[in-house]
Structure 1
Amino acid sequence: MLRRRVYALVLLALAVAYAATRNASAQVPVTVWGYVKMPDGSPAAGASVTVSAGGASASTVTDSTGKYKVDLTVSSTPVTVTVTASLGGYAGSASASGEGVVRVDVVLQPPPPPPKKPTSVYVSVDRPEYGVGDAALVQGRLSPAMQAAVKVVVVAPNGSRYEVSVSTGSDGSFTVRIPLTSRGAWSIYAAFPGSDEYSPSTSQVVTVVAKEKTFLSVSARSPAPGIVQVSGSLAPAPSGAVVEVYVSIDNGSTWARLLNAPVGGDGSFSANLSTAVYGRILVKAVFRGTFDYAQSETAPVAVEVSSPRELLLTQENERLKAREKALNETLERLSAEVGELRRLSDELKSSLSSCNATVEARERALENLERELALLRGELEKTRLLAYAAVPAAAALGALAGFALGRRKRGKREAPSA
């Protein structure tokens, strides 16, 4: 029984092997033909054609009408036929199933464009917060560097969007200012549309927040050594606002926050600073902002802080200046008095000279009178001698006396003019 089964299996295996051998050796002819055309439908004359079907393949070239024809032998039919054709960079393929004679037409396609070079766009803003009405400064760069048109896309807080076209420089950089007309978050990004050589790209999205503007002011003075009084105002002043006060001792290269000054309901703030640093220091105030109010910062203001020794020297210097001023005033007063005395002295000298001249004139007149008196006395003596003479002698004496009296009168008239 077992032996019969073995014989049966052997006979079955031989039958299967025979059938397979017979099928493998069977050859079925298939004719494949068709037309190869250019993209515009014109014949692709001289195109290279390869036909594959059932593991067999053959190649040929199209004639002037674009027609080709090949004969294949396959093991069985129907069979799937694949035809590929190419001409000067143009290529195409098509497939069809059939038996006997199979037609397959192929339309060539233009060569694919070369792959474009990749690009990237980067954007940034100078700060994350602005005041409503400010313009956000957007800076960007297109890589690789080239001169091209880039679109900056702006999305407003209400969802509306618009585009701004900018041109990059030769280094690929670009700059644009975006007005922030309403409060809220604004989204900004840039897009490069690409070119024949470069692929398009889009930057990351940056977000800036527009808040209500604030205005901050500050002033500083040093009323005493080591003490700085700071005061200022914030407008508008949110409830619970705090202003940070910073000091710099190296002309603004570095800043140190010394204290936080609370802002009052009227927007004012003040604080006293104690410092062991003397000389010129800079002070500024910073408001960090809130959810609705923008940050603001003052420009630095300079203040001279004196040391105790400098204060003493300053006070002594002021005292010496006051003393110098008083001495100068005294000197001016004494100089004026000296000038007046000199004037009076000159006047006295002038009067004395005039008096001396008058005295000299009086002395000369007196000398003249004394000489005349002496003459009169001589004449009187002569008159007495002649008294005893004759009448003619008396007449002569009278004439002589008259002459003498005449000279005396003339001398009196001349004396005052002398």
Structure 2
Amino acid sequence: MSELRGACIIGQSGGPTAVINASALGVIRTALDTECITRVLGAAHGIKGVLDDRLYDMNQEDAAELELLKYTPSSALGSCRYKLADPDKDDTDYKRILEIFRKYDVRYFFYNGGNDSMDTCNKISKYMQKAGYECRIMGVPKTIDNDLNGTDHCPGFGSAAKFIATTCMEVHRDAHVYDTGMVTIIEIMGRHAGWLAGSAALATWAGYGPDLIYLPETDFDLTDFLDDVHRVYDKTGKCMVAVSEGIHRADGTFISEAKTSATDGFGHAQLGGLAAMLADAVKLETGAKVRGIELSLLQRCGSHTASKTDIDEAFLAGKAAVEAAVSGITDKMVAFRCTREGGYTCQTSLEPLEIVANAEKKVPREWINAVGNGVEQPFIDYVLPLIQGEPDAPRTNSLPRFAKLKKVLAH
């Protein structure tokens, strides 16, 4: 395929992570060093920045500050939750995107996000092909939920898993200080997939973690849950529980549904308050001292416990996206292919956007114990390599030194 010269846009979308900017750096640094990419533009708040013509000229950034993106959590360019309409029903946004692409001679588009972001990527790619505008479009994976289809795991998950496991170990130590009884319930993110809540099992594997773990891959029964807690508490005088926010009844309704008050930009219910709800039920049933803890946003951007493996792989995903696009490939998402037997190895591959968009990868049922209140060893074996390594992150006065971008608007 002949060389395609033109500008590129990198955008970030969806929930932030501890390593999403490492992927952005992988794209930006590789694109800046690629001769056929004439200009590197960063979209302010994802696809909304394209629609609003708010694009940052990444060529104007200081190289040293860009390098700090590797250790800077959250989305440095800004994120969004914006769902593009079906272009066959309403192509208004797509016409505007094409207008902006033509204005800046954009021939490469990289979108860094999760399930819904890959849907956005897929729709834009198909529209550009239909419009006859040559633009190579690549998805760069990101999600702490680890639920993207077609890849062994997702950048962001390893660091979130490490934060969750570390926090559970610390909470376990705190909860076992006194000689009085106590039940501790920790609510962890994960709407339909239990990868994050399952990661609490790393703490148990290390000797200081939950006695019970509940994932949304199995139905949740309150009576069985209370029986489980009773059994552990009566035996030891303590009980620690990790629970996914997305646990549901046999009919599919969320246990925390009564606390649902809003939806995000993609129509997904915003869950929360589950730990407090279950704590009330346990207290009423047992009379024990009960503490409900919701990790909430803390688990997304905990760069102080980031996995070096996660950072390095996130950067690799961004780099691979640019290299693939320049070589003539389009309409793909970068994925990981990994081996764990005889040592951990990870390589990139490419998957069609349509098999990734709006599909969710769940924890295999055989990795969850028969009664649904814990995980089996294969889950530990899967996650453990992903949390390895301590990044040499820069600090000033013992506090993190994050990137400070100029964010010069392109004209």
- Where relative contact order (Cα < 8 A, 6+ residues apart) is larger, the structure is 2
The structure with the largest strand share of the pair is 1
Which structure would you say has the larger Rg?
1
Query: Structure 2 length as normaliser, TM-score?
Result: 0.23
The structure with the largest helix share of the pair is 2
Query: Structure 1 length as normaliser, TM-score?
Result: 0.23
